[in-house]
Amino acid sequence: MNDKKHRPEWVPENATDGFTTEIVKGKEQNSPARSRKFVKKKERSTEEYVQGIRKGDRAILAQAITLVESNAKRHEEQAQAVINEILPHAGNSIRIGITGVPGAGKSTFIESFGSYLCEVGHRVAVLAVDPSSSITGGSILGDKTRMETLARNRNAFIRPSPSGGTLGGVNRKTRETILLCEAAGFDVILVETIGVGQSEVVVRSMVDFFLLLVLTGAGDELQGLKKGIMELADALLINKADGENKQRAMVARGEYNRILHYLQPATKGWSTKAYTASALYHEGMEEMWKIVLRFIEITKASGVFSERRNSQTKAWINAMINDYLETSFYNHPAIKSQLPILENKVVKGDLTVTTAVKELIRLFEA
């Protein structure tokens, strides 16, 4: 190490080891093109992102989404700058949410419906909301194979659910991704709910039209299906209406329509009805699209469309504030140390819940 050849020229002759800076022989760059790409990828300017998205450059769009999904503080600033720039070009799409129990055929439907839409001249972006993906590692693998044809279509863009983080985090990332896709010229956005639980409500809060995929046969399903989810839907689609199941699907359609008749409609001025389709055999796709178009026409004329978008934006603001406050509360050092102690006191009956909470808030605000 003391070999003079390895010492930089600015090091004095009589310098001790402590002073010395070592020189490590540089590695030969064997592929300048590759290294240039690497540097570019790492340090794309906000302008480059914006231009690329506006041109519909899918690689840049994908990178911008990665930026938006990053939890790193330094990425957040640039992501917000990009979104700010593209915002005037966002919003011009029909946003459709697709929900249903696992196995109902959501991914297959998206493959078939998305391909149909591309065929008739649309550009389709497919996103997924999966708040559980941080635990399960995501269900993307299965989805990719279900969407093989669509994934190869030049007019389609498929993005798996952002992994990790809270429901609030997934919520923000998906909403911002929708804006980026719209600015890149995608005029139909399909959002699939993957995780079970709260993802239906989250997706409903970011789309114009909400589609519930259901199955026939199982009378239990009709019973077990949460009325609450049916009340979120703008249409029910009985999928797998093919082969021997076709007849049963027609019967189920009548049953569902009878139930829907008594439920609160999800959208003012629109009555939610049941339809049949076969995603696997590409039947009913055109009919479904006509229903969506009629829905958009009616709600735009009545003002319900823009009312919903506005209230969704306001709800997003509130959700982010709640998320921020909750995170900063539970990460506050005083709360971290005092919460378990006060909880214990309450459990033992030494303190009332209200007193404990007030004390915690006092510590938080101090």
The site for ligand GDP (CB under 6 A) is made up of 100, 102-108, 146, 239-240, 242, 278-280
Given Mg ion, ligand GDP, none, residue 104, with its beta carbon under 5 to 8 Å by kind, binds: ligand GDP
Q: Give the Cα separation of 337 and 342 in Å (integer).
A: 9
Given ligand GDP, Mg ion, none, residue 363, with its beta carbon under 5 to 8 Å by kind, binds: none
Quote the least distance from Cβ 158 to ligand GDP, whole Å: 13
Closer by beta carbon to Mg ion, 143 or else 182: 143
Given Mg ion, ligand GDP, none, residue 108, with its beta carbon under 5 to 8 Å by kind, binds: ligand GDP
* Strand ranges, E, within the chain: 94-99, 124-129, 156-158, 188-193, 209-214, 235-238, 273-276
Is residue 190 within 8 A of residue 98, CB to CB? The reply is yes
Quote the least distance from Cβ 143 to Mg ion, whole Å: 5
Burial of residue 243 (CB within 10 Å: 0-12, 13-18, 19+) is exposed
Quote the least distance from Cβ 136 to ligand GDP, whole Å: 13
Should residue 106 be labelled a site residue for Mg ion when binding is judged by CB under 5 A? yes
User: 303: left (phi > 0), else alpha (psi -120 to 50), else beta?
Assistant: left
Q: Which long-range contacts (CB under 8 A, 24 or more apart) does 142-149 make?
A: 142/107, 143/107, 143/192, 143/194, 146/107, 146/108, 146/110, 146/111, 147/107, 147/110, 147/111, 147/114, 148/111, 149/111, 149/115
Of residues 134-173, which lie at the interface with Mg ion (CB under 5 A)?
A: 143
Quote the least distance from Cβ 282 to ligand GDP, whole Å: 9
**Binder of Mg ion out of 63, 93, 107, 171 (CB under 5 A):** 107
Q: Give the Cα separation of 41 and 122 in Å (integer).
A: 29
Closer by beta carbon to Mg ion, 143 or else 176: 143
Nearest in space to 96 (alpha carbons), one of 199, 184, 187, 231? 187
Quote the least distance from Cβ 145 to ligand GDP, whole Å: 9
Q: Which residues pair with 274 in a beta bridge?
A: 236
Q: Residue 26 has what DSSP assignment?
A: P
Residue with nearest beta carbon to ligand GDP: 105
User: 91: left (phi > 0), else alpha (psi -120 to 50), else beta?
Assistant: left
Site string for Mg ion, 255-294 (x = CB under 5 A): ----------------------------------------
Quote the least distance from Cβ 106 to Mg ion, whole Å: 5
Given ligand GDP, Mg ion, none, residue 175, with its beta carbon under 5 to 8 Å by kind, binds: none
Quote the least distance from Cβ 144 to ligand GDP, whole Å: 11
Closer by beta carbon to ligand GDP, 60 or else 104: 104
Residues that bind Mg ion (CB under 5 A): 106-107, 143
